[in-house]
Amino acid sequence: MYENLKFEVKENIAYITINRPKAMNALNVEVLNELYEAFTEVEKNGEIRAAIVTGEGKAFVAGADIAQMHAIDPIGGRTMIATGHKVMNYIEAIEKPVIAAINGFALGGGCELAMACDIRVASEKAKFGQPEVNLGIIPGFGGTQRLPRLVGKSMAKYLIMTADMINAEEAYRIGLVEKVVPAEELIDAAEKIAKTILAKAPIAIAITKTTINNGYNMDMRAGSALEVEAFTASFASQDKTEGMSAFLEKRTPNFQNK
């Protein structure tokens, strides 16, 4: 089905593995298009309730494909970057939770892919960076926008302007990742988070993600108004009735995504 990805579904979780280990899983246009197709499947497939994305071999994604980028002109560059933004924005916007299991180098487009995910779990061997200025360009898959929102404006400027590469512990310290685990425990740790989320009310999870994303750049008054409407929507679901009934009856809820 895919030339550059592995895609499988187990126990309501989609596992998406970028599979170009000889190229350190670099993102070219073909990989980006396949990622968009894969996450479209995640969004539309009712069996899938969460996704884990990782990389094959020593890299999560070591960046964009420089050989491909070197050969294109500004118009071609704009087309490639537009494709990248379409993919990252789509991953960020789908209602189902997406967890990045960062197994190795997450540089340039790889760091940007991780940042587009909802939750980031890093192997202790992972490395992060935005090295684009070394190549005479800037981050182009959302790095200048998502990185400041995660680590603060000044830290983002430092990382992008110096092209400094940081380890997993530093990434955790500055808020770029939520968890650091031994390499051999990476997928298990991502699965544990996914399964914890899957045990919750699906509609509440979807509404939570959408409300946080949409409200993040609003002022407090507008964000509060958004939350009122989102809360009202969750209150109208069968999941609300089931969750509260289960609590009062001291049993495990049986959510139906309704």
Nearest-angstrom CA–CA distance, 242 and 20: 44
Nearest-angstrom CA–CA distance, 50 and 70: 36
Instruction: Give the pLDDT band (50/70/90) at residue 69.
Output: confident
On average, the pLDDT of the chain sits at 95
Instruction: Give the pLDDT band (50/70/90) at residue 258.
Output: low
pLDDT at 72: 82
Q: Write out the two tokens for 205.
A: 């999870």
β-bridge partners, 27:
64
- Which residue type, as a one-letter code, is found at position 85? H
> What's the pLDDT tens digit per position in 139-177?
999 999 999 999 999 999 999 999 999 999 999 999 999
Q: Which of the 8 DSSP states describes residue 22?
A: G
**Domain 5-198 grouped into CATH 3.90.226.10:** yes
Is there a contact between 237 and 258 (Cβ–Cβ < 8 Å)? yes
Alpha helices in the chain (DSSP H): 29-44, 66-70, 74-93, 109-116, 143-151, 153-162, 168-174, 186-198, 202-215, 220-235, 238-249
Residues ≥6 apart with Cβ < 8 Å to 59: 21, 24, 25, 103, 104, 105, 106, 110
Burial class (CB in 10 A: 0-12, 13-18, 19+), 178: middle
Is there a contact between 47 and 12 (Cβ–Cβ < 8 Å)? yes
Active-site residues, by number, are 112, 132
pLDDT at 73: 85
**Domain boundaries along the sequence of the chain:** 5-198, 202-249
> What's the pLDDT tens digit per position in 188-231?
999 999 999 999 999 999 999 999 999 998 999 999 999 999 99
Q: Is the dihedral of CA 249, 250, 256, 258 positive or negative?
A: positive
The CATH class that applies to domain 202-249 reads mainly alpha
Instruction: Give the pLDDT band (50/70/90) at residue 104.
Output: very high
Entry pTM: 0.94
Is there a contact between 116 and 92 (Cβ–Cβ < 8 Å)? yes
For 23, other C-beta atoms within 10 Å of its C-beta total 19
